[in-house]
Amino acid sequence: MDAFAALANGMAVALQPMNLLFALIGVFLGTAVGVLPGIGPALTVALLLPVTYKLDPGGSLIMFAGIYYGGMYGGSTTAILINTPGESASMATALEGNKMAKAGRGGPALATAAIGSFVAGTLATLGLAFLAPSLVDFAVKFGPEDYFALMCVAFVTVSATFGDSPIRGLTSLFIGLTLGLVGIDKLTGQARLAFGIPELLDGVEVTTLAVGLFAIGEALYVASRRHHAEEKLEPVRGSLWMTREDWKRSWKPWLRGTMFGFPIGALPAGGAEIPTFLSYSTEKRLAAHPEEFGKGAIEGVAGPEAANNASAAGTLVPLLTLGLPTSATAAMMLAGFQQYGLNPGPLLFAERPELVWGLIASLFIANVMLLVLNLPLVGLWVKLLAIPQPWLYAGILVFATMGTIAAKPSVIELSMLAAFGVLGFLMRRFDYPIAPVVVGLILGPIAEAQLRRALAISLGDPMVLVQSWASVILLTIAAIALIAPFALKGLGRFKASDD
């Protein structure tokens, strides 16, 4: 019951008018920067840090948390409406969400994203309040071999999910894996595939690739088809709001997305992207109408959106309990704590309970604010789609370029964006799925580094990969996911010949 009492006290702190104002500023800024590709919550918190040190620590930390949650929200809006993921964690949302928007169902897509984020954010914040100490013990035990096993699960499920032909899906995945090799090798510090260009030493930026492939590629493709059959965009067809059917199809993905997002977000190297991919593939498998996937299935928006918001709360578990920052934004928030001389960790809960619980309570409030801020805007946002196509896509080009330049102003970055745009166009033209490229870029380097770390720790003994329970279970899941489709197919044939 201690946690309840502490949370009630925290609510009292969070509901002070000044703190409410900070939460409101935070979610508003967060939503705004989430919308812009390239500028993420981490950058915003970094820029605000030096100016907030004169403010009261509680208020500014509440604002930072609002920015974090808001950023996760805002990214989905552009992903759905104009196929431009505001940050990499909204990529899975773009897959189905943009198809829905094109079919006139942008309203329900935005609504399920907003409500799903709210549900997931609230559940995950509850998890943060009550499970943090036990979850963190588990998260710390997760070693490199376990991460590698988790990556195997992600690779198998994700590559099986995208596209109709496995060969095309794998081709795309390998393009992504190759791009993932570019830059300084994390374990030896040697440059790979950088061709002596200093800008390439840090590797390919995920947002540059995602924005190039998704937004620019799409704009080029639409332009090339303009004189063929013009694709009619309907801004709104049917209800602007979610129907009973939509609700029925959304609530389970919301909960499942939360189940993926929160624990994986709490892992020190978990991140927000992996749970969104896992959620997307799970929903595709479990869906009553799997044929709708790729054409705008609401489950494919509800699940990943819930997952990315839940992972944001998950990230705060190791940050608050151990002082472990596991994402760029969390690292900035840690810097925020430190500038007040506060060290997150086991002692913080005991030393400054009003601050920690005030922060957790304000996350609930930020969630409510985000819902209130976003739902009325749905009607306004979908009007964007009524803009004539040439204008809309010209706008997307400007918007995408601006976001990339703001994040990393260099000619090389811009050239890469353009090159990825052309690649995206060609892949669309010849019917290769584009999502696996980004998946390969995100997962490849993590899988490689974790595998090599595990082997370095075991002095080269491969048995380390099956030494922990977590890795055995995860590798088994990966193996089943890999073999099951073939086995089921074989079984089906066997049955058929039996008749």
Residues at the contact surface with other proteins, assessed by CB under 8 A: 29, 32-33, 36, 39, 42-55, 139-144, 184-191, 198-199, 201-202, 268-269, 318, 322-326, 328, 330-332, 335, 338-339, 341, 343-348, 402, 406, 408-410, 449, 453, 456-457, 459
* Residue 244, token pair as written in the block: 């009973």
Q: Which one, 380 or 459, has the nearer CB to other proteins? A: 459
Least separation in angstroms between CB 207 and other proteins: 13
Under a CB-based contact definition with an 8 Å cutoff, are residues 276 and 307 in contact? yes
C-alpha distances in Å from residue 463, one per residue of 64, 446, 453: 43, 20, 14
- 487: Cα within 13 Å, side-chain hemisphere: 6
Among 7, 66, 10, CA closest to 354: 10
Least separation in angstroms between CB 293 and other proteins: 34
* Helical axes 244-266 vs 273-286, angle rounded to 10°: 140
* Residue 273, token pair as written in the block: 């992207």
Least separation in angstroms between CB 75 and other proteins: 14
Strand pairing category for 191-192 and 183-184? antiparallel
Q: Which one, 3 or 140, has the nearer CB to other proteins? A: 140
- 127: Cα within 13 Å, side-chain hemisphere: 28
**Pairwise CA distance, residues 231 & 91, whole Å:** 23
Q: Which one, 108 or 144, has the nearer CB to other proteins? A: 144
* Secondary structure of 98-139 in HEC code, one letter for each residue: HHHHHCCEHHHHHHHHHHHHHHHHHHHHHHHHHHHHHHHHHH
* Residue 287, token pair as written in the block: 């869906």
Q: Which one, 325 or 358, has the nearer CB to other proteins? A: 325
Least separation in angstroms between CB 327 and other proteins: 9
Among 312, 306, 352, 305, CA closest to 333: 312
Among 371, 366, 367, CA closest to 22: 366
Q: Which one, 301 or 348, has the nearer CB to other proteins? A: 348
Q: Which one, 14 or 348, has the nearer CB to other proteins? A: 348
Least separation in angstroms between CB 263 and other proteins: 15
Least separation in angstroms between CB 13 and other proteins: 22
Q: Which one, 29 or 173, has the nearer CB to other proteins? A: 29
Q: Which one, 143 or 235, has the nearer CB to other proteins? A: 143
Spell 453-492 as b/e; 16+ CB within 10 A means b: bbbeeeeeeeebbeebebbeebbebbeebbeeeeeeeeee
Least separation in angstroms between CB 422 and other proteins: 24
Q: Which one, 24 or 139, has the nearer CB to other proteins? A: 139
Handedness of CA 43, 47, 49, 55 (dihedral sign): negative
What 3-state DSSP class applies to 185? coil
Least separation in angstroms between CB 133 and other proteins: 13
**Pairwise CA distance, residues 306 & 73, whole Å:** 10
* Residue 384, token pair as written in the block: 């964007």
Q: Which one, 203 or 300, has the nearer CB to other proteins? A: 203
Q: Which one, 49 or 477, has the nearer CB to other proteins? A: 49
Least separation in angstroms between CB 202 and other proteins: 5
Spell 105-132 as b/e; 16+ CB within 10 A means b: bbbbbbbbbbbbbbbbbbbbbbbbbebb
Q: Which one, 198 or 462, has the nearer CB to other proteins? A: 198
* Secondary structure of 284-297 in HEC code, one letter for each residue: HHHCCCHHHCCCCC
Least separation in angstroms between CB 374 and other proteins: 17
Least separation in angstroms between CB 231 and other proteins: 30
Under a CB-based contact definition with an 8 Å cutoff, are residues 321 and 349 in contact? yes
Least separation in angstroms between CB 42 and other proteins: 7
